[in-house]
């Protein structure tokens, strides 16, 4: 019967492989009876301090006689797992061990702590931390092996890629040569055909250009005739409602002072009737643009006349909008006494100056708004 005993120093009970830190071993005493025979017993040991990375230093553990050994083993197992990189390589197991250690801390700080509960939770924390440490060690070793083998694999991949690239370059060069020869033959074949059809196409283009120019001129003349005809027709239609004159600015429809109450901007019934008819004409031609200008005589202050002219112009604009005329191309402006059409020294002249004018313009009647106007409608 052979007896041998070797005791190693381990940080906790759940180690999976002993270290070579031997703290106790049996020896043969002098006077021992029997024979001695050397036995070659082989077993793997971790290098000295193998559970702690080289150069890693723990803070000293302050032992507390009131706490159980299992509690300190759990704390040591968690620190060793952290030092081996378990937080990165085995995060789930490591975090579970941290939670278990937290529960052990909570049990230990209770006034009447339950030793059995502390031992149970501490042992589970040790096993979980050791498992996380082993996972981390395995993954780190795999990474080391992969890193060691990667240069050779990269060189092999690079060599294969170079071979494939050379073959592809050769194939591409052959294709380029074939394409060049084919394009040369096609170019020679098409050059003759292009030369034969060039004169015919040029003549056709000249004829088409001449026809297009003639058609364009005819269209321009017809468009001008249409604009003049529409302008004349609108002039007649507006004149049937209110006095209208044809100007470079457009068709100017004059609403005289008699259509407003004296000194006010309220539209009289006759004014509303006239504007309703005007709106009916305008609605038939959506491309028309309306500029509405209010003017006064020189009686009264400039401020009063300006305000009155603005209110009258706005009253006309608002009523036309109520009749369905779009507001976007319809702008109103008060001119006060700045645009007289007669002398303000006579009663008749002042009455002519008190008016609201509707300036009808637009490309459809050959007038661009603001193109010939002495001021810009705001």
* Per-residue confidence (pLDDT) for residue 131, from 0 to 100: 92
Question: How confident is the model over 314-346, as pLDDT tens digits?
Answer: 988 999 999 998 887 788 999 888 888 888 888
Q: Above 50 in pLDDT, residue 202?
A: yes
Q: Which of 197, 226, 255 is the last residue of a domain?
A: 226
Top mean pLDDT of 151-160, 171-180, 242-251 is at: 242-251
**Average pLDDT of the segment spanning 51-70:** 64
Torsion angle defined by CA atoms of residues 75, 81, 87 and 92, in that order, rounded to the nearest 10 degrees: -80
Are 35 and 163 members of one domain?
Answer: no
SS3 call for 331: strand
Are 188 and 252 members of one domain?
Answer: no
Residue 149 lies in a domain: yes
Q: Above 60 in pLDDT, residue 70?
A: yes
Between CA 244 and CA 4 the distance in angstroms is 131
Q: Which of 15, 30, 51 is the last residue of a domain?
A: 51
Please, what is the average pLDDT of the chain? 81
Residue 288 lies in a domain: yes
Residue 274 lies in a domain: yes
* Per-residue confidence (pLDDT) for residue 47, from 0 to 100: 60
Tell which wins on pLDDT, 7 or 357. 357
**Average pLDDT of the segment spanning 116-145:** 91
SS3 call for 340: coil
Q: What letter would DSSP give residue 263?
A: T
What is the DSSP pairing of strand 355-361 with strand 22-25?
Answer: unpaired
Cβ atoms < 10 Å from Cβ of 152: 9
Q: Above 90 in pLDDT, residue 99?
A: yes
Are 68 and 45 members of one domain?
Answer: no
Tell which wins on pLDDT, 131 or 41. 131
Between CA 222 and CA 230 the distance in angstroms is 12
Report whether 113 contacts 107 (CB < 8 A). Answer: yes
Are 323 and 203 members of one domain?
Answer: no
Are 79 and 186 members of one domain?
Answer: yes
Residue 56 lies in a domain: no
Tell me the CATH number at 277. 3.30.1330.60
* Per-residue confidence (pLDDT) for residue 252, from 0 to 100: 93
φ/ψ region of 158 (left if φ > 0, alpha if ψ in -120 to 50, else beta) reads: alpha
Are 127 and 221 members of one domain?
Answer: yes
Are 68 and 47 members of one domain?
Answer: no
Q: Above 70 in pLDDT, residue 258?
A: no
Report whether 77 contacts 14 (CB < 8 A). Answer: yes
Residue 58 lies in a domain: no
Between CA 319 and CA 276 the distance in angstroms is 8
Tell which wins on pLDDT, 105 or 43. 105
Residue 370 lies in a domain: no
Between CA 94 and CA 135 the distance in angstroms is 10
Tell which wins on pLDDT, 6 or 183. 183
Residue 378 lies in a domain: no
Q: How many domains does the chain have?
A: 3
- As a residue count, the chain comes to 378
* Per-residue confidence (pLDDT) for residue 251, from 0 to 100: 92
Are 155 and 221 members of one domain?
Answer: yes
Q: Above 80 in pLDDT, residue 276?
A: yes
Residue 235 lies in a domain: no
Percent of the chain at pLDDT > 70 equals 80
Are 306 and 327 members of one domain?
Answer: yes
Instruction: Name the residue range of residue 140's domain.
Output: 64-226
Report whether 237 contacts 248 (CB < 8 A). Answer: no
* Per-residue confidence (pLDDT) for residue 327, from 0 to 100: 82
Are 207 and 350 members of one domain?
Answer: no
Helix or strand holding residue 252 (H, E): strand 250-256
Q: Above 50 in pLDDT, residue 373?
A: no
**Average pLDDT of the segment spanning 252-277:** 82
Are 78 and 214 members of one domain?
Answer: yes
Are 166 and 107 members of one domain?
Answer: yes
Between CA 108 and CA 126 the distance in angstroms is 16
Tell which wins on pLDDT, 83 or 376. 83
């Amino acid at each position: 019967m052979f007896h041998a005993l070797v005791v190693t120093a381990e940080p906790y009970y759940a180690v999976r492989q002993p270290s070579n830190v031997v703290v106790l071993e049996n020896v043969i005493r002098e006077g021992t009876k029997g024979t001695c025979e050397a036995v070659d017993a082989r077993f793997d040991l971790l290098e000295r301090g193998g559970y702690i990375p080289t150069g890693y230093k723990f803070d000293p553990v302050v032992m507390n006689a009131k706490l159980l050994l299992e509690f300190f083993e759990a704390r040591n197992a968690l620190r060793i797992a952290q030092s081996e990189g378990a937080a990165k390589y085995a995060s789930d197991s490591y975090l579970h061990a941290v939670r278990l250690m937290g529960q052990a801390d909570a049990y230990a700080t209770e006034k009447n702590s339950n030793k059995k509960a502390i031992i149970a939770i501490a042992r589970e924390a040790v096993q979980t931390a050791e498992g996380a440490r082993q996972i981390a060690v395995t993954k780190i070793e795999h990474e080391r092996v992969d890193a060691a083998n990667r240069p050779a694999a990269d060189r092999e991949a690079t060599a294969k890629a170079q071979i494939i690239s050379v073959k592809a370059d050769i194939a591409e060069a052959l294709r380029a040569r074939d394409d060049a020869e084919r394009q040369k033959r096609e170019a020679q074949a098409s050059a003759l055909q292009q030369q034969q059809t060039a004169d015919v196409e040029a003549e056709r283009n000249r004829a088409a250009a001449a026809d297009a120019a003639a058609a364009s001129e005819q269209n321009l003349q017809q468009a001008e005739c249409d604009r003049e005809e529409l302008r004349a027709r609108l002039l007649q239609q507006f004149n049937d409602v209110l006095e209208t004159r044809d100007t470079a600015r457009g068709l100017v429809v004059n609403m005289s002072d008699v259509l407003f109450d004296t000194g006010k901007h309220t539209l009289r019934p006759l004014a509303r009737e006239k504007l309703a008819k005007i709106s009916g004409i305008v609605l038939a031609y959506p491309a028309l643009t309306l500029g509405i200008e209010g003017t006064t005589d020189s009686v009264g202050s400039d401020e009063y006349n300006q305000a009155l002219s603005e209110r009258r112009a706005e009253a006309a604009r608002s009523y036309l909008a109520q009749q369905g005329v779009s507001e976007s191309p319809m702008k109103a402006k008060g001119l006060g006494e700045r645009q007289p059409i007669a002398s303000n020294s006579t009663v008749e002249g002042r009455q002519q100056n008190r008016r609201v004018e509707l300036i009808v313009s637009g490309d459809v009647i050959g007038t661009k708004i603001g193109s010939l106007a002495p001021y810009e409608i705001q």
